[in-house]
Chain A
């Protein structure tokens, strides 16, 4: 699925979780955080109830006042990767071979999921990967689990492709329902949603749920070039791959232009929704090489450091 050299180049990267870095220090909420580390952060005055073991006795001897020594919390990050595997993610503009089908949006999204999971595993975080069809990987930690992660994604790809043939695939809920359910019992951590956001039921409710949870959530919006700039013209009957709804359209330059305007407005709306809830948004054109998306675009957007 991915080359060894590319995986090697990912080892130096870490996922950036800005919200968690500020103010999550050991000792602030005594009973919840257990983490210890040797990295000194700051001092503060002793207040009743603090663990006497944390008092810096050297300072006490010199100043005759108790101070508590603060250390940076090195609690490991739980990285949630939510991979949308709705039929629209498997969509190709033309009825091509299976290889073509895989080479499209889905392949890019699946590879992104693996790459982000691998980076998290390599930096020692715990990784949970869940698909829209409620298949879950993890939580696991350590690079050793990378192979299992890749195998899981491949298994999901195969299973979903089989399911695509049935007109109304079972065990799939709407985007909103999935995200809401996931946000309910998710452990705090970094959450990356990989999706095209194309769902009949919309996305607002799901994003709300994620934003209100303790998750630091990011949206990697994957759209294929055929969605960004459709290349088909003439009198067409458009068929929704998810709902099988039909839509008669006569496509000419003017209509395509309007479509592009609609698309820009729509993705801008999603980005604004995400940012309002404290998340980050990145639109990925799935026709770009994976290396370019990961090593260039995501680093520039400071998702990776």
Chain B
């Protein structure tokens, strides 16, 4: 045992005035009485008690001195050296990757790791410092290098496990920045070791605290939807990442309603597949979930969501003087309701798509337009007829379009703005242009600058494909470029001010750089202007689903540096708190003895 503040023993000199006061107190006050006759008799009665009287007085002095001694001792800040996790400068790397949410150790790997770190904090010596780095997809230091234990404990309490894989190289960079590798620094890696990169590069003293016991985990690794002739079919793949065969119950829900459930035998290390067909094509999303499994430690990957992308009914306004090919091509497209008109009808603002076949109308803002033939949106400068030698750009609307045998008699030369790019270009000029206006963000245009009747395009197989591709590309939801499925933490590029409904039912508004709060697994519905849609956040992370702990993870540059020094590490444990509590108890006892012994002072002279 040692002392941090031996000078505090100077306070022990206070014992001198206490003893002096005590001696002064024994100088009895003289009080005249009419006669000591009766008092002598009382004294005789009390003779038996005088020993206690004297002892009580001494007890008071003893308690006062004991209180002082305890206080002084506490002020001297004594400490003992106890074996601790680490000392000196300690850098803690706390794994917060998704696999740390596994429950093979109770209550969870992350909570066990948190408890380990808490122990390490509590065993910190007086001169030791610690920094706490949480290692998830974006590792960060929760607390700077400090010896302030409450601050460290607060930082530790604020740590949350993430849904992402850990970025160990970034974490190592942070650790090095905090001083890992220095002689007095110890790096403490608290992790399950699953998917951890080789941490040998970590310099200096390093120690690995393994968390976790078993790697048993069943995951839904794939869920996809496919449109078939009779609706939609869902493909589910369940993977057993553990070492034991399992029989799991998988349920499938469409828009929340159970549509099918099946028991699947999943051998260890293998997958089992299941295709559920004949799902109503109008469902917005499908949800597969593992309901029962014997050896399943991680719950995050037990559910998967798939968005049925082709469900939304779009409304198109076709302004034409009559074009059977075009009308037929549009009518066969699923999910598209076409209104044919000669002039723009009332309420023309509310269409998802405008098809102007050689006609013009005032277009609402952010309209998606398919312009065919003569148009008034863009100026033209003459016509051209050398439409051979076609070059096709790589563009969604040109996918599977075979233009080789298409003949166009003549086409107008369009003074297209920069954003309207040629997709199919002939020798004389572009025959198909497409582009997305930069302002106000959402206006997609597909332009065919020739009259269909002056071309044999409608007779070719390329025509319905081109129309279908164009309509798909022009539909507002597509215009947002929102992926159907993202990983947790990924930023979804929805436009600013898009309203979103999270899986939890909360509402959110997207910011300038899209929506980043994708920390919840499930379906996110959104609404941006006239566009409505949904995307799913799926765990679908095969590496994090492999939660088998790697308890023999090699950390640090050499074996010699890690194990023995870690075992020998000691920390200075102060215990002045207990001394202060004891001093307080002694003080209370002193007061109590005094109160019991001498009644409340009355009539003091």
Q: Which residues of A contact B (CB under 8 A)?
A: 88-89, 91, 93-95, 105, 196, 198-200, 224, 227, 230-243, 245-250, 252-253, 255, 258-259, 262-263, 266
Contact = CB atoms under 8 A, between A and B. Distances in A.
Contacts of B35: 88, 198-200, 240-242
A278 to B, nearest CB: 26
User: What are the 7 A-B residue pairs with the smallest beta carbon separation, nearest first?
Assistant: A91-B34, A198-B35, A88-B34, A237-B28, A231-B603, A240-B36, A247-B36
Interface stretch (B38-46, B93-101, B274-282, B313-321): B38-46
Interface in B30-58: 30-43, 45-46, 53
B106 interface: no
A235 B26 CA distance: 7
B7 interface: no
A184 B38 CA distance: 30
20 contacts: A91-B32, A91-B33, A233-B603, A236-B28, A237-B29, A237-B31, A239-B36, A241-B32, A241-B34, A245-B36, A246-B36, A247-B39, A247-B40, A247-B43, A250-B53, A252-B597, A253-B599, A258-B42, A259-B39, A262-B45
B31 A232 contact: yes
B605 A198 contact: no
B598 A252 contact: yes
A239 B42 CA distance: 15
Given A252-B597, A259-B39, A262-B41, A231 B602 contact: yes
Interface of B: 25-26, 28-43, 45-46, 53, 597-599, 601-603, 605
Contacts of B34: 88-89, 91, 105, 196, 198, 224, 227, 240-242
Given A91-B34, A94-B605, A238 B29 contact: no
B37 A248 contact: no
Contacts of B41: 262, 266
B602 to A, nearest CB: 6
Contacts of A247: 36, 39-40, 43
B37 A200 contact: yes
A238 B599 contact: no
Contacts of B25: 235
Contacts of A227: 34
B53 A262 contact: no
B36 A255 contact: no
Contacts of B31: 93, 232, 236-239
A144 B597 CA distance: 60
Contacts of A250: 53
Contacts of B32: 91, 93, 95, 238-241
A90 to B, nearest CB: 9
User: Residue among A236, A246, A248 with the most chain B CB within 10 A?
Assistant: A236
Contact of B602 (A199, A233, A235, A262): A233
A224 B492 CA distance: 99
A232 B605 CA distance: 8
A239 B38 contact: no
A199 B605 CA distance: 27
Contacts of B37: 198, 200, 240
Contacts of B36: 238-240, 243, 245-247
B45 A241 contact: no
B56 to A, nearest CB: 9
A113 B42 CA distance: 32
A263 to B, nearest CB: 6
A212 to B, nearest CB: 25
A233 B42 contact: no
A234 B29 contact: yes
Q: Which of B36, B602, B605 has the most CB of A within 10 A?
A: B36
Contacts of B39: 238, 247, 249, 259
A206 to B, nearest CB: 15
B38 A235 contact: no
Interface centre among B30, B34, B605 (most CB of A within 10 A): B34
B21 to A, nearest CB: 13
Contact of B46 (A224, A234, A239, A255): A255
Contacts of A246: 36
Contacts of B599: 233, 252-253
A224 B28 CA distance: 24
B252 to A, nearest CB: 85
Nearest to B25: A235
A239 B598 CA distance: 21
A233 B598 contact: yes
Contacts of B603: 231-233
Contacts of A200: 35, 37
A102 to B, nearest CB: 16
A39 to B, nearest CB: 47
A262 B40 CA distance: 10
Contacts of B43: 247, 249
Nearest to A223: B34
Contacts of B29: 234-237
A262 B28 contact: no
A258 B42 CA distance: 6
A235 B28 contact: yes
Most A Cβ at <10 Å: residue of B25, B30, B39:
B39
A236 B33 CA distance: 11
Nearest to B29: A236
Nearest to B26: A235
Nearest to A263: B38
A252 B605 CA distance: 16
A271 B603 CA distance: 31
A250 B54 CA distance: 10
A246 B33 CA distance: 10
A266 B39 CA distance: 12
Contacts of A88: 34-35
A242 B34 CA distance: 7
Contacts of A95: 32
Nearest to A105: B34
A259 B33 contact: no
Given A249-B42, A258-B46, 15 more contacts: A91-B32, A93-B32, A93-B33, A95-B32, A198-B37, A200-B35, A231-B602, A233-B601, A238-B32, A238-B36, A242-B34, A249-B39, A259-B42, A262-B45, A266-B38
Nearest to A235: B28
A253 B603 CA distance: 13
> Most B CB atoms within 10 A — which of A94, A247, A266?
A247
A195 B562 CA distance: 98
A124 B382 CA distance: 163
A241 B25 CA distance: 24
B33 A238 contact: yes
Contacts of B45: 258, 262
A44 B41 CA distance: 58
B587 to A, nearest CB: 22
A301 to B, nearest CB: 24
Nearest to A200: B37
A259 B37 CA distance: 11
Nearest to A240: B36
A198 B35 CA distance: 6
Given A198-B35, A258-B42, A266-B38, A237 B601 contact: no
Contacts of A198: 34-35, 37
